[in-house]
Chains A and B, each alone.
Chain A
Amino acid sequence: AQKVTQAQTEISVVEKEDVTLDCVYETRDTTYYLFWYKQPPSGELVFLIRRNSFDEQNEISGRYSWNFQKSTSSFNFTITASQVVDSAVYFCALLSGNTGKLIFGQGTTLQVKP
């Protein structure tokens, strides 16, 4: 079975704090892909990153960084020096290499206060 768990339902931080959003996944596929999406209040999901199961290199993009650990089936997302504009719902998702279906976690609502 494929499953994505985002245990943190809501996180509230003060601007400039660092924050890490957790994501744990389950799959029996050897080939799979992991994604993070951001959903601001306007509604559309904005693609942030894709990783494949064979590439465990961490990635940094500006204030965003991602830590992929196959040993713990985790794909965590860290925002450094958070800003109010980072306030949104963040979704972690798993795409099966076999079915092509994207499985989403429940989402983590991040509120960054000024």
Chain B
Amino acid sequence: ETGVTQTPRHLVMGMTNKKSLKCEQHLGHNAMYWYKQSAKKPLELMFVYNFKEQTENNSVPSRFSPECPNSSHLFLHLHTLQPEDSALYLCASSQDFLQSYEQYFGPGTRLTVT
């Protein structure tokens, strides 16, 4: 138990659906992250929020839309996804961005796009 929770744990959606992934951290951290983990690829950073402000968008397609209403919650809104978007989506948090603090990860959402 790392103090970072993600829901749902598994999600199957069609290419025309709209769904959202939710992340919540109970660590009092100020930075939150979305990563994508595909088979046979290193983890890819998607978005970073620091003190609720988006500081990084790593050239992510617009069909992924993040939202950070407060420092404890992070959402990833999904719409018109492609089969190649099937992956494990991991949320993480750290004390602050641009500092050396370690990141703590949630268990991930296993997404399958059909």
Binding site for B on A (CB under 8 A): 4, 33, 35, 37, 42-47, 50, 52, 91, 95, 97, 99-107
Residues from chain B with Cβ under 8 Å of A4 in the complex: 42
Least distance between A2 CB and chain B CB atoms (Å): 12
Question: Could you list 6 examples of A-B contacts with CB < 8 Å?
Answer: A45-B105, A47-B2, A47-B102, A91-B43, A101-B56, A104-B42
A47 touches B104 (CB 8 A): yes
Docked complex Cα distance between A44 and B92 (Å): 9
Residues from chain B with Cβ under 8 Å of A35 in the complex: 102
- Which residue of the partner chain A has the closest CB to B106? A44
Residues from chain A with Cβ under 8 Å of B104 in the complex: 47
Number of chain B residues close to chain A: CB under 8 A: 24
Docked complex Cα distance between A33 and B30 (Å): 19
Residues from chain B with Cβ under 8 Å of A44 in the complex: 2, 4, 90, 105-108
Least distance between A10 CB and chain B CB atoms (Å): 12
B56 touches A106 (CB 8 A): no
